[in-house]
Amino acid sequence: MHPSVYRPLIETAIREDLGSRGDVTTAAVVPDGAVAKASLNARVEGRLAGLEVAAEVFRFVDSSLTVERLAVDGSDMAAGSALATIAGSASSILIAERTALNLLGRMCGIATLTRSVVREVAGTGVAVAETRKTTPGLRALEKYAVRMGGGANHRFGLDDAVMIKDNHIAVSGGVTKAVAAARAAVGHMTKIEVEVDTLEQLAELLADPVDVVLLDNMDPATLRRAVEMVDGTMIIEASGGITLANVRQVAESGVDVVSLGWLTHSAHNLDVGLDIVITTA
């Protein structure tokens, strides 16, 4: 992920934290010229994502800080493992601490949750993807975290691909009309996906197949029938009503992708912390 993606987010977050008066606590209690070395640590086991983003927070606050990364994104972390060290101005480290931990903990939480789903469907060949149910402003970071957890990315925004959902179908007058309108509006490089809720809608779509069909809120038995009907003519995505408890059963129905909004909207922050290990005035 290129730094230009997340630097504006970091600037906004630091500005929000400093407000109009800056870090009044650090200014009051930390001696001028104090230097420190800190260790960024995983408090619990999980999957690492966002370490470079956290490092960039420290560098944004103070470019003279030295950040040494001890792990790489996409790797598994043991509880208590050191992820990075930061050395330099004690005040700068303390100012950057919370923003760095907020972003890192959020991204590691998503990566760890994604990893659990990927492990659950191992051997089925099914890809695990998120949706657009992301935190406003953090979509690029959250989708990156999904990749670090072993998942794949769905579309990034409304401009990526045509995705005809139930409300589009209702407004446009049906599956066939919606597909025809989409084909007339976009070029050959833009993929088209259609969401269907029933096997009857799927049968209508099969008269003029698109690139991807989304089978929404179908139980495993219905999914298996839908897979038979599609018979390889479209990529098949399943979404809706999928949990960690039933995702293996869904994957074994023969679909190609499972998309899960809860990978991002319901992931818990992973517990990461910063400990000052050396301080000199």
User: Which one from 139, 165, 183, 248 is the annotated catalytic residue?
Assistant: 165
User: Which one from 7, 43, 69, 98 is the annotated catalytic residue?
Assistant: 98
Nearest CA among 84, 6, 2, 80 for reference residue 43: 80
**Cβ neighbours of 279 (radius 10 Å):** 14
State both tokens at 49: 């994502």
Nearest CA among 186, 191, 187, 223 for reference residue 210: 191
**Cβ neighbours of 117 (radius 10 Å):** 26
User: Which one from 56, 73, 130, 216 is the annotated catalytic residue?
Assistant: 216
* Residue 15 appears among annotated catalytic residues: no
* Residue 216 appears among annotated catalytic residues: yes
Nearest CA among 3, 76, 7, 70 for reference residue 40: 70
Say which DSSP state 165 is in: -
- Please, what is the angle between helix 90-120 and helix 139-148, to 10°? 60
* Residue 195 appears among annotated catalytic residues: yes
Residue type, 230: V
User: Which one from 7, 43, 69, 133 is the annotated catalytic residue?
Assistant: 133
* Residue 98 appears among annotated catalytic residues: yes
* Residue 191 appears among annotated catalytic residues: no
Place of tokens 């630097």: 7
User: Which one from 23, 193, 195, 237 is the annotated catalytic residue?
Assistant: 195
State both tokens at 173: 């007058």
> Active-site residues: which are they?
98, 133, 165, 195, 216
